[in-house]
Structure 1
Amino acid sequence: MMKPRIFAALLISTFFVSNGFSQNQKTLAERLGYPANAKLLIIHADDLGLSHSTNMAVIKAFEAGGITSGSVMVPCPWFPEIADYVKHHPGLDVGIHTTLTAEWKFYKWDGVLPSSRIPSLIDTNGYFYDEVAPFAKHARADEVEKELRAQIDRAIAFGINPTHIDNHMGSILARPDLFETALKLAMEYRL
């Protein structure tokens, strides 16, 4: 079986080749308004929405220029707080930190969708699995797609204009079909 990271790299490479990526296109630096050979540093904060303290630290870092990008965990309890901040600061580079696991022992969450619609993603206690291995063992790709779509749609409904998606704990890299599902949604939503 192909390792998830190797599979992801091959899939992304195939995507760029099949979509006509060539030397004639502008570099990322050029598309961002910098010279072609400019060295750029993106400092990214994830887990926005996890807790009030996380949100306050990230807001402070954005405002001080210490970070340039972030991603929100839509299922988490403090998501509305950070969503409100992002909504009122539309120039921020904020994406969706797609969340399908909940690793904390005493601080848990489940999906945006009701558990009855995503039963393969929910453990016996009614929360997302706390580790990637049991998630990967039980997750159905169709339920992953439903939940990720719900997370993206909820973020948009809260006023976030997401710039990208990434993933909490690497859960979507656990199986090629899950990665393909996330990639499909990223392309559909142009993230």
Structure 2
Amino acid sequence: MKLIINADDCGKSKDVNVAINHFIEAGKITSTTIMANMDDLDGAARLFSKYQDDISFGIHLNLTEGHPLHYNQKLLDKGYYLEMNGKIYFNLNPYRNKIIGLSVQNELEKELCAQIEKVMDSGIRISHIDSHHHIHTGLMLLRLMPKLAKRYGINKMRNMRNYVPAASEANIILRNLWKQMIKFQNHKIVITDHFGIYEEWYDDGKQIFSGNVTFELMCHPGGAYTEEERKLLETDFTQLENIELINYNGI
């Protein structure tokens, strides 16, 4: 098995960037993804300068937390953005699995392009696309994601979380269908076989997946997931059989 361990939320804050730096030094992650609109993009750029030869750096598209990079009256009027105390905030979560009009998609595309371009302008070479709260897998962005990948020459994308023990059979079928629909629109996009959290890859001392597959394991150093961090730090990946640690530059 080829295993990618990706730290989400790089650039969210100085504390998160410090934690990601620690996990890189400890050999516990092989990849990270960067938020363009949060508090410490400069710190993320410094991590890229330091570790670009060791791990991959992707874009963590964000429409659900913090402030948009650009003011957009149409999105504000329609409720996709909210204004509170004189500041504009994202409000996309209620719409993530709804089919939205083309005019709204076009406005969201402007924001996502701005995020990608801001990361690129910081000198960061983007290896792959994923997103905060998995918004890139929602219905509202199904058309946009292959289009953005093609525009910016980013040919790798995070899979939808496709091993969920409590999910119904119909839900699992829909999750697999998403991947097929993305690749149908842009055949150059490469997506891992599986994506999930620690317990969906390795649980109770047993490895759930094996064989000739690629699995991306998501983690959040410096966030609220302290148990997740503990398990990663305690796992000696070099002692696990038939595991090859790779990053998104290697698929």
Q: Quick check: TM above 0.5?
A: yes
Measure, in 2, the Cα distance between the counterparts of 1:54 and 1:94.
15
Equivalent position amino acid for 2:69 in 1: V
The reply to whether residue 72 of structure 1 matches residue 34 of structure 2 is yes
Between the aligned partners of 2:42 and 2:69, the Cα distance in structure 1 is: 13
Conserved in 2, the CA contact under 8 Å of 1:132 and 1:170? no
Closer, same or farther: CA 117–55 of 1 in aligned 2, 3 Å:
farther
Partner AA of 1:60 in structure 2? H
Q: Are residue 46 (structure 1) and residue 3 (structure 2) matched?
A: no
1: CA distance, partners of 2:146 / 2:59 = 13
Please name the residue that 2:94 is paired with: 133
SS in 1 for 2:4: coil
Structure 1 78/61 Cα, relative in aligned 2: closer, same or farther at 3 Å?
Answer: same
How far has the Cα of 1:113 moved from its partner? 2.0
> Helix, strand or coil for the counterpart of 1:111?
coil
Which structure shows the bigger proportion of residues in helix conformation? Answer: 1
**Conserved in 2, the CA contact under 8 Å of 1:132 and 1:174?**
no
Give, in angstroms, the shift of residue 117 of structure 1: 7.5
In structure 2, relative to structure 1, the CA distance for the partners of 1:161 and 1:118 (3 Å cut) is farther
Residue in structure 2 matched with residue 170 of structure 1 by the alignment: 134
Q: What SS does structure 2 have at the residue aligned with 1:75?
A: coil
The one-letter code matched in structure 2 to 1:154 is K
What's the secondary structure of 1:124's corresponding residue? Answer: strand
SS across alignment from 1:43: strand
Aligned pairs (5 A) from 1:61-100 = 61-91=23-53, 92-100=55-63
Determine the C-alpha separation between the residues in 2 that align with 1:51 and 1:67: 18
Instruction: Give the number of the structure with larger relative contact order, counting CA–CA contacts within 8 Å between residues 6 or more apart.
Output: 2
Pairs aligned (count): 145
Per residue, is there more strand in 1 or in 2? 2
Task: Using the aligned pairs only, state the percent identity.
Answer: 31
Q: Which amino acid aligns with 1:40?
A: K
| Alpha-carbon distance, 1:89 to partner | 3.1
What CA RMSD, in Å, does the superposition of the two structures yield over aligned residues? 2.2
